[in-house]
Structure 1
Amino acid sequence: MMAARWIRTGAVLLLGGATGFYHSIKLSLDQRTLAQADLGSDGSQVNLTLYQYDRCVACSQLRAFLDYYGIEYRTQHVKWSQYRSVPVLTIEGEDSLELNDASVIISAMKTCMIDRRRSLSEVISFYPLLTSNNFFGQEVTEFSNKYWVMLNEIAVESVYPSKNARKEEVRWRRWTDEWLLHLVSPNVFRTPSEALAAYGLIVQEGQFGPVEGVLVKYVGAVTMFLLSKLLKVWYRLQDDVREDLYSAVNEWVTAIGHRRKFMGGDEPNLADLSVFGVLRAIEGLQAFDDIMEKTKVKKWYLAMEKATEEHHGQSEALTSVKSQSASVS
């Protein structure tokens, strides 16, 4: 059971054992409200803080979403903190809200951007937390509907060019979390030298003291190198795990096709942002360089990078709101 727990943890996060365990955080929603219209438009009314570490894949996915839509937030680097899992997004205004599942946060925020009549805490209730037992008999939790932007039929027609486009977005967001994300750790920590290089960046980008930095780098690198071998077996990867990563990335590019710039068409959709967040988390590492060289993803990635840096989503969100208002009237 302990091995299984480590496997799940390492598969979801790029960082591993050397960063320590975190105490659990509760999802507190009762009587906590926030007008989504304030997000990204009036920083004086609402403050967003993202508790994260730079090389956490899920954190990178959430940052990609916030950056693309130009939503202002500040980051708080997590080391030996009270949080067991990241990202954790805290929203402070007249009331406060804490959320800690990247896909749910993205879906809920996107819903509120389109349907301004709903508060974020109200929308969060559309993603109930379900409990079940896994293969090992352990209790696990999962959010229902987490990949769906929760809209009425009028809004769906105004935002998505077709019903297939909405289903395609959901499918590839799920694919990203259930497959592409799990290829990260086996590839980033594939060899001892790659593991050391990865943790060298983690220490460089984090706020570690000299002694603590050495401990994190070497203990973390050894831990994750060994864990990557378990993950290779667990996910039945090829002897050279890089081949699985190449195949997954090329599968994504093939799904976009030659006629579209992004999965979302002229502008990225949530699936684009999800995949981009995963790949951006490993930028600067050997696995990333190999992907850029040996797959067909570079053109798309550079276009995503530009769209995110320029906050293209700000104008897209405004268009969605106007379109929704016109449809309702």
Structure 2
Amino acid sequence: MQSYIYPQLPNLQYSIPTNHGSDLTFATDLTFTLYQYKTCPYCSKVRAFLDYYGFQYKVVEVNPVMHTEIKWSSEYQTVPILMVEGKEIVQLNNSSVIISAMKTCMIDKERTMSEVVKYFPRLPSTNAWGNEVLEYTNKYWVMLNEIKITEVYTSKNARKEEVRWRQWADDWLVNRIKPNVYRTPAEALATYDHIVREGNFGSVPFAKYGGAFYMFWASKVLKIWYKLQDDVREDLYMAVNEWITAIGRKRKFMGGDKPNLADLAVYGVLRSMEDLEAFYDVMENTKVKKWYLATEKQVKEQGGRNLCRKPLQNYHGITEF
């Protein structure tokens, strides 16, 4: 954990004016700013969480090439980043840490965000490609004591199930997205056209064509790396149907009558493909559509905003986590 005064606070002039969520849930002077790429699956997960629980937040669309909007973040140059600003400024990195830390504070209102983030220590690690990355321990766990666990989860198995499928969304489902949305030259071009339209690419004229060409060939490498079938759609269909099978016929959501964090994670990942051919194929060729539309309705209607009405704790100082 590292605490210090920022040499320069984030420049919010890039913020896209938005009114996400509702201020009815959290009567607090905290403000939230999400630094993101709109089409990023991990960023989509965080937005699904914030929208479902009715948070108001600003959005800063980051240039995916130059990262200009997050240059102020000295050690962490990856989206999403969530800035929580009150008397203290807390920088939350990593989509799963953001969600777990926020949910922990929503439930355990005796602890501040500064205290909660200590439960998610960051450790340097090397990923499968040989690159050094920061990894976070406990990132899929909502950090509660035994009494609060029994108040929130119907059983310990329900808590473990939520953690398992949140990790599955990151480690398994996300890895089937790129090989599918860049599957053919036509799909790669359509995907990058969508990304350029939705994102903050500035005035780079070749971003669409150069990016599409690069990602088409990169998708072939990923297909080999993840040992996918010749038709990568089949792997995506299998993954999505595996999720629906895990929910079962007796539950509307994995969380029961309401989505839990696993529901929101899987929904967020799938939503990142919206408007693309792969998304429509998944909706038509798997059993996910009913669950997806039900979750979408819950997110749009802020179905979780009445679950935690008391404010998050405010705090003092400036912290980067």
Q: TM-score, normalised by structure 2?
A: 0.84
Which protein is richer in helix relative to its size?
Answer: 1
Which position in structure 1 is the counterpart of 2:160? 167
Query: Which whole-Å CA distance do the structure 1 matches of 2:258 and 2:190 have between them?
Result: 34
Cα pair 2:39 2:199 within 8 Å, conserved:
no
Which position in structure 2 is the counterpart of 1:273? 264
Secondary structure of 2:106's aligned partner: helix
Match of residue 283, structure 2, among 292, 313, 322: 292
Q: Which amino acid in structure 2 is aligned with residue 116 of structure 1? A: K
Q: How does 1:299-318 map to 2 (within 5 A)?
A: 299-318=290-309
Query: Which whole-Å CA distance do the structure 1 matches of 2:309 and 2:154 have between them?
Result: 17
Q: Which amino acid in structure 2 is aligned with residue 221 of structure 1? A: A
Match of residue 48, structure 1, among 24, 32, 55: 32
Cα pair 2:181 2:187 within 8 Å, conserved:
yes
Cα deviation, residue 39, structure 1:
10
Cα pair 1:60 1:277 within 8 Å, conserved:
yes
Query: Which whole-Å CA distance do the structure 2 matches of 1:299 and 1:137 have between them?
Result: 40
Cα pair 2:25 2:309 within 8 Å, conserved:
no
Query: Which whole-Å CA distance do the structure 1 matches of 2:36 and 2:276 have between them?
Result: 19
Cα pair 1:185 1:228 within 8 Å, conserved:
yes
Which position in structure 2 is the counterpart of 1:241? 232
Cα pair 1:160 1:166 within 8 Å, conserved:
yes
Which position in structure 2 is the counterpart of 1:122? 115
Secondary structure of 1:314's aligned partner: coil
Cα deviation, residue 133, structure 1:
4.4
Gap runs ≥5 in structure 2: 7-22, 71-76, 313-321
Cα pair 2:104 2:144 within 8 Å, conserved:
yes
Which position in structure 1 is the counterpart of 2:135? 142
Cα deviation, residue 216, structure 1:
1.3
Q: Percent identity?
A: 58
Q: Which amino acid in structure 1 is aligned with residue 88 of structure 2? A: D
Cα deviation, residue 141, structure 1:
2.9
Match of residue 102, structure 2, among 109, 116, 131: 109
Query: Which whole-Å CA distance do the structure 2 matches of 1:135 and 1:279 have between them?
Result: 23
Q: Which amino acid in structure 2 is aligned with residue 69 of structure 1? A: Y
Cα pair 1:29 1:97 within 8 Å, conserved:
no
Which position in structure 1 is the counterpart of 2:211? 220
Cα deviation, residue 114, structure 1:
0.4
Cα deviation, residue 142, structure 1:
1.1
Which position in structure 1 is the counterpart of 2:42? 58
Query: Which whole-Å CA distance do the structure 2 matches of 1:258 and 1:249 have between them?
Result: 15
Give the 3 Å change call, closer, same or farther, for CA 196–139 of structure 1 in structure 2.
Answer: closer
Give the 3 Å change call, closer, same or farther, for CA 134–109 of structure 1 in structure 2.
Answer: closer
Which position in structure 1 is the counterpart of 2:19? none
Residue 138 of structure 2 corresponds to residue 154 of structure 1: no
Match of residue 176, structure 1, among 153, 163, 169: 169
Cα deviation, residue 99, structure 1:
1.6
Cα pair 2:25 2:306 within 8 Å, conserved:
no
CA RMSD of aligned residues (A): 2.2
